Amino acid sequence: MTQEKKVQFKDIYQELRENISVDAMQKKDFGDRAEGFKIGYLIERLNDVVANHGCSWEVTMLPMGHDEQGNPIVYRLIELGAGDRKKTTAAINLQLSILGPDGTILAKRTSFGGCQVLNNSLGDTLKGAQTDALKKAMGQLGLGNAAYKGVLDEHLQEFKYRRYEIMDKIEKFFSKSEIKITKEKGMKLISKISRKHYNGSEDVSYEDWLKIEAFLNEKLKEKKKTKKVKDEPKNTDGEDTPKTDKKQVDNKE
């Protein structure tokens, strides 16, 4: 019997730190800048990676102190600022753990998170604080670490339009009606374009390639449909119906 390879965090880490699609970036309200990744994309990537290794992950809220009865307090409301600028912020501390197939902890990171009170709702506020802390903990594990390292804006400017450049070239390629298009030719085109524009860069993400391939498949369908219409014989109001010689009809009678 072949001994099953033991899962190590370094293998998971390599997948977690792979670039996330530019679509996952959360833009600031002003200018062409990014402030981080959307939490939904990060959780989706984390779920996919750990599941591929037969692992799981969990979040534990760490105590921020204890009340008079000795019960743990998992959040604190802190008053910051003064006068009209005084704001109430909820602060939490959590631990993100990656668990192996047998439940043992392969890696863990802790992080504080905070959020100003939202909608006069403690639930919404704590949710915001948890998201803040979770993103920071994920960054420590390599997930979305472009934001964690503070180079997200550079990444955004570097490859923001690259996927669209490839799609634009595919569009122009398909517009040449005299070329017989096949999926093989389309994939060669993508390979040629990507070598020129990406040059082996790690900025190419799995999500981007899926969208490019889907775009290619859609163009193939359109091309096939257009060709079918062109190849069909015309038969409009009898214009293409062979004309019967009247004399031949009369002779038969």
- What is the per-residue pLDDT for 184? 75
How far is it, in rounded angstroms, from Cα 107 to Cα 101? 13
Question: At how many degrees (to 10) do helices 39-52 and 9-16 cross?
Answer: 140
Please say whether the dihedral angle defined by the alpha carbons of residues 67, 69, 70 and 72, taken in this order, is positive or negative: negative
d(CA 103, CA 98) in angstroms, rounded, equals: 9
Fold of 10-157: Enolase-like; domain 1 (3.30.390)
- Per-residue pLDDT, 202: 45
Inter-axis angle of helices 206-231 and 162-174, to 10 degrees?
10
Residue spans of the domains in the chain: they are 10-157, 161-231
d(CA 15, CA 35): 22
Nearest alpha-carbon partner for 136 in 48, 248, 59, 229: 59
Closest-CA residue to 190 (of 217, 174, 212): 212
Question: Cβ of 87: how many Cβ atoms within 10 Å?
Answer: 11
- For residue 55, what are its two tokens? 């692992």
The answer to whether the beta carbons of residues 204 and 198 sit under 8 Å apart is yes
pTM for the structure as a whole: 0.60
Rounded-to-integer distance, Cα 148 and Cα 140, Å: 7
Residue numbers in the chain where pLDDT is lower than 70: 1-4, 22, 27-35, 148, 153-165, 176-181, 183, 186, 190-208, 224, 226-253
Instruction: Extract the tokens encoding 244.
Output: 């019967």
How many C-beta atoms surround the C-beta of residue 24 within 10 A? 21
